[in-house]
Chain A
Amino acid sequence: MELIDFSDVVRAWPLFLEGIWLTCVLTVVGCLGGTLLGTACAWGRIQGPVWLKAVLACYVELFRNTPFIIQIFFIYFGLASVGLKMGAVPASLISLILNLGAYACEIVRAGIEATPRGQIEAAQSLALNRWQIFTRVMVVPALARVWPALVSQLVIIMLASSVCSQISAEEVSYAANFVAGKTFRSFESFTVVTACYLVLAIILRKLLLWIGPHLIFGRMRF
């Protein structure tokens, strides 16, 4: 048996493709859900009542100071043992969304707090209510301000989805393990999948850096 041989692993490409599909689904749903959750939490932390601010602060600190693998173990195994059972994919999505939500909350909050006071006063002078001011005047420029930081965090979430393999979600890391087990070519299998992740990360970053200015905030200067 040769030291390194990619042929068996490369033959298993359909399995990798299926895994990549789930990785993409987890990434897209996780990123959208997490960003929405994070924006809502940022709103709550800035404008909400005192009890809500305290609850959100606890949520954010908890998820930013514990490892993702423990979060997903708790949600998948821990909640199941007290009666709340769910499949591996729903558990993965919930964990990714909650994790990203905590980080996105802080990132978006920094962007919102940097809104120039004059714009808020102008919106108030036009008789807009607080919700209208937040959604129409504050959110989009805030996202534009923090877009690079947010994009980095979204790429991190895509990479974090690999941990979901540990609760048997059949994304591409799980496929790597599976193929490694079948072919006994662990190094080759993980090399191929790592290369897939690298390509996905590059594509995702470029895509997001394009989406921001073209679909979300336009040619604005803030």
Chain B
Amino acid sequence: MSDKQPAALVDIKNLHKSFGQFEVLKGINLSIQRKEVVCIIGKSGSGKSTLLRCINGLEVFQSGELLVAGQRVKSDDARAMRALRQKVGMVFQSFNLFPAMSAGRNIMLAPKLVKGMPNDAAKALAEKLLKRVGLADKFDSLPHELSGGQQQRVAIARALAMNPEVILCDEITSALDPELVGEVLQVIEALAEEGVTLIIVTHEMNFARKVCDRIIFMHMGLVHEVGTPEEIFNAPRTPELRSFISMK
């Protein structure tokens, strides 16, 4: 490791995670830099989502080391977890918008409560972010009044409102009807171009090819291959990756 290398934003060393007797992550080693856009691909059950959820503490890992922006992730310390989650945002497969609040208020909630932002500033921020994801006129709409794609874009805006250092995307288009996938991917692409650090678990291979700086292929709980999109898709080295790509 060279001294001149910038400190990684997310640093994972030998991470092990089991559900009961079943070991899902068998020693993950991974480093993600600022402004990097990383896609994690792999079969179902390879541990992709579990790894993502370990990074913001929704899953607790048994051994190994996980550092985010230099701070070690301590799952038993509630205050440390909240501090961590101000730096790490997440967008979920099933959107998980709060049904009792409008789109705008969904976005305003965390900045007001966690950062103590005054109401007017939070409202202005929410309006700005809704405009950024292309939903400027939907401030007062309730989640059930929006399509899946619109809900997911609100969810992205909600994660952006906390100004995190990295955003985790957990299969954010898997629950969408095919014609709605594009509008969400467009937003992510725009974020990538602006330099937001993104870790994306996805099945959308074309999107991964287009947007990511690095692709990580996971297989059976381990990082199997890492490379640029060209290396992964045009020159897969291992048979598992070859068969995975051929299936897509």
Point out residues on A near B: beta carbons under 8 Å.
116, 118-119, 121-130, 132, 136-137, 140-141, 144, 217-222
User: B110 in the interface, Cβ–Cβ < 8 Å?
Assistant: yes
How long is the Cα–Cα vector from A27 to B99 in the complex, in angstroms? 31
How long is the Cα–Cα vector from A220 to B146 in the complex, in angstroms? 12
- Return chain B residues, CB-CB under 8 Å to A125: 56, 58, 85, 88-90, 159
- Return chain A residues, CB-CB under 8 Å to B142: 218-221
CB under 8 Å from chain A, chain B span 122-162: 142-144, 155, 158-159, 162
CB under 8 Å from chain A, chain B span 55-110: 56-58, 78, 81-83, 85-86, 88-90, 92, 94, 96-100, 109-110
| Distance to closest chain B CB from A211 (angstroms) | 15
Main SS class of interface, A: helix
**Given A132-B113, A136-B109: A141 and B85 interface contact (C-beta under 8 Å):** no
| Distance to closest chain A CB from B198 (angstroms) | 15
| Distance to closest chain A CB from B105 (angstroms) | 10
How long is the Cα–Cα vector from A141 to B98 in the complex, in angstroms? 9
How long is the Cα–Cα vector from A122 to B83 in the complex, in angstroms? 15
Contact between chains at B109 and A119 (CB < 8 Å): no
Beyond the given A116-B96, A124-B81, A125-B159, could you list 20 further A-B residue pairs with CB under 8 A, ordered by the A residue number? A118-B94, A122-B155, A123-B98, A124-B57, A125-B56, A125-B58, A125-B89, A126-B110, A126-B114, A127-B83, A128-B110, A132-B114, A136-B98, A136-B113, A137-B98, A141-B100, A217-B100, A220-B144, A221-B142, A221-B144
How long is the Cα–Cα vector from A121 to B94 in the complex, in angstroms? 11
| Distance to closest chain B CB from A218 (angstroms) | 7
Contact between chains at A141 and B58 (CB < 8 Å): no
How long is the Cα–Cα vector from A74 to B96 in the complex, in angstroms? 48
Contact between chains at A144 and B100 (CB < 8 Å): yes
Contact of B82 among A121, A129, A140 (CB under 8 A): A129
- Return chain B residues, CB-CB under 8 Å to A121: 58, 90, 92, 96
Contact between chains at B114 and A127 (CB < 8 Å): yes
When C-beta atoms are compared, the residue in chain B nearest to A130 turns out to be B78
Please list the 5 inter-chain residue pairs (A to B) with the smallest Cβ-Cβ separation, ordered nearest first: A122-B96, A126-B110, A221-B144, A127-B85, A118-B96
Contact of A124 among B85, B94, B97 (CB under 8 A): B85
Contact between chains at B78 and A220 (CB < 8 Å): no
When C-beta atoms are compared, the residue in chain A nearest to B97 turns out to be A122
How long is the Cα–Cα vector from A122 to B106 in the complex, in angstroms? 11
Contact between chains at B92 and A118 (CB < 8 Å): yes
